Chain A
């Protein structure tokens, strides 16, 4: 059984169908990329999975349990973490606080326990600190120690993307959803992020669902690729299969005018 099962999913805004009868599966330790032209419904899929939108029809299961109708923080606590295409960090908090905040769902100390610094609060705080250090050290020099006490708004664009991933990791997810992780990065940084995503799968055994426009990244990391257009799945398979599929080429480039004339 796959970790994430999206079954016959549909989403409509009024009369507009953003997603139609979509099926996607993601297995443990597998990277699945979702590609498609702008407006294909990729981000809508993420928003439905993370509970921001409720699907019109269909089912989404994590480890066999349906998550449809649950509120976003419940879904996050069940083990689905995500990053945002338009960066949504806690800008006025420090880098380390951003990461620590995401452990909220996995910690239990009540305000009185925290105020009195009772054993459970102290132990959790130690664990949270260690987890934050561990998660941030995944990014090596890029998010090195001297940055941890700087406010998030002072980071560069690429570092904000990295911090979003670090923050998502701190929720201890089973499934990680990355919305355009390489957007706005230079080729060197893009290469780094590609390697990082592969490491997350290999070292943390994470299932990862990625939306990405950079085909080098998609080629580099994907175990499987799903191509969407107009909210419909066109095809699915290895990168080579999908990249050469006529329907995908058509979705990106349109049809050959001569061919169109003959049809």
Chain B
């Protein structure tokens, strides 16, 4: 049966449901006036208004084109290989988050085994681009990248559909548990297979770089361009899908499955489709990852990575393609900055300054807080130094000028280990106090907490970057979600209970 329009829309004037006098759209208090309130609301002043207006006008593809141009311009600016690699990783996570968004954000399938699709793609590429299947056999042929990627992504679609058929026999939390098992099963299998063929615990290495049509990609910049191209392509495809009947149907499933089935939607088939599409995007990201890294190991596909992908999606905004991309970039860049002490210090103090500027108003009060933080710090340092000189004998952990500048400010004992642990507890107490207190007491709590945070950071946190990275990422996520509960670019949602 095809949809066809047989009848003209009824004439509004002959329509009995039209109220007399309701035509006055401008009159205050009338239905339509209330509904248009968002248009009249002040969206801010100056550049914020300009941005908001532009945001409402520009269509999806000019936005994507703008982002692409920014991405290309970025590559021209930077010749630093490390930065290019971080940029590549950002886009890789953006790609992964976009794929996860199909299942989690649109269709409401809490897929905790998504990491397996990433691994499937990576191992698939590795097998076709190495001697894994024998020097002269199928794998020995060292397929060109375009062929192996297409084969792997198509196979991922099939595997995703088959696994989806099994996993989707249960729904809700039970589905999440089954997929968690699938993800874990992938890791266990990859880790325990025969080391001769599929690498097992040793992984597969010495893979071909990405090569097709006579071009071989070997440089970090080349892989960055490739990742950018794939991101733009996937974003465009997903947007077109989102605004089609399939995308609408997926989002309807997320809201109400029973109503969806009563409205002609084949719920099970749509879920399997969503799961398969998510698997395909994950696998595509996997092939890119394997080619760039030149090897694959089972430990590349643990649940730690899955949590990071979820962090990208949640931070960016569940259900939003742009959010997934932004989340991928923010999380990856933050993670990398936290790995280097200097950058981590910039990030740490930068976030404190941004939070102060954003949250403390008016300016006069901000001035008091800053003055308070500085005065309180030097006073504490002087007092503690006078009582016990050894308590201030240590050097701040931050290298470079930040460390030197804070030398006479923060309290760092010669052995900061235990003192730092105590400060860390004090920091948590201080944060709780900031949330609970109001007025002048809150300002005092802010001043003390910032000083405690600085001391804790210089004495304890920065010397353990591995742990600090996790704590800081968690803190960034919590603070962002508190400020924007639906993620950076997410839309307000209501959940049907």
Residues of A within 8 A of B (CB): 50, 52, 71-73, 76-77, 81-82, 84, 88-93, 97, 100-107, 109, 111, 114-117, 121, 124-125, 127-128, 130-131, 133-134, 137-142, 144, 146-147, 150-151, 153, 167-168, 170-172, 192, 195-196, 203-204
Contact = CB atoms under 8 A, between A and B. Distances in A.
12 contacts: A81-B263, A91-B494, A91-B496, A102-B263, A111-B277, A114-B247, A137-B12, A140-B15, A144-B32, A146-B36, A192-B17, A195-B17
B252 interface: yes
A109 B263 CA distance: 17
Given A88-B496, A137-B10, 12 more contacts: A50-B262, A71-B261, A77-B264, A90-B256, A90-B260, A92-B254, A106-B1, A107-B245, A111-B244, A115-B237, A115-B244, A134-B9
Contacts of B244: 109, 111, 114-115, 121, 125
A206 to B, nearest CB: 12
A124 B245 contact: yes
A52 B22 CA distance: 41
Interface of B is mostly: loop
A114 B240 contact: yes
B: interface residue count bin: 35 or more
Interface in B262-277: 262-267, 273, 277
B258 interface: yes
Interface in B2-37: 2-5, 7, 9-10, 12, 15-19, 22, 31-32, 35-36
A109 B246 CA distance: 9
B310 to A, nearest CB: 20
Contacts of B492: 151
A116 to B, nearest CB: 8
B320 to A, nearest CB: 12
A130 B5 contact: yes
B259 A127 contact: no
A101 B5 contact: no
Contacts of A168: 263
B181 to A, nearest CB: 28
Nearest to A193: B17
> Which secondary structure characterizes the binding site on chain A?
helix
Interface of B: 1-5, 7, 9-10, 12, 15-19, 22, 31-32, 35-36, 237, 240-241, 244-249, 251-252, 254-256, 258-267, 273, 277, 491-494, 496
Nearest to A127: B3
A100 B240 CA distance: 16
A105 B9 contact: no
Contacts of B258: 52, 72, 88
Nearest to B5: A130
What are the 10 closest A-B residue pairs judged by CB atoms, nearest first?
A105-B264, A114-B244, A88-B259, A140-B17, A90-B255, A137-B9, A72-B261, A102-B263, A140-B15, A76-B264
Interface centre among B32, B252, B256, B267 (most CB of A within 10 A): B252
Contacts of A147: 35
Nearest to B493: A92
B245 A138 contact: no
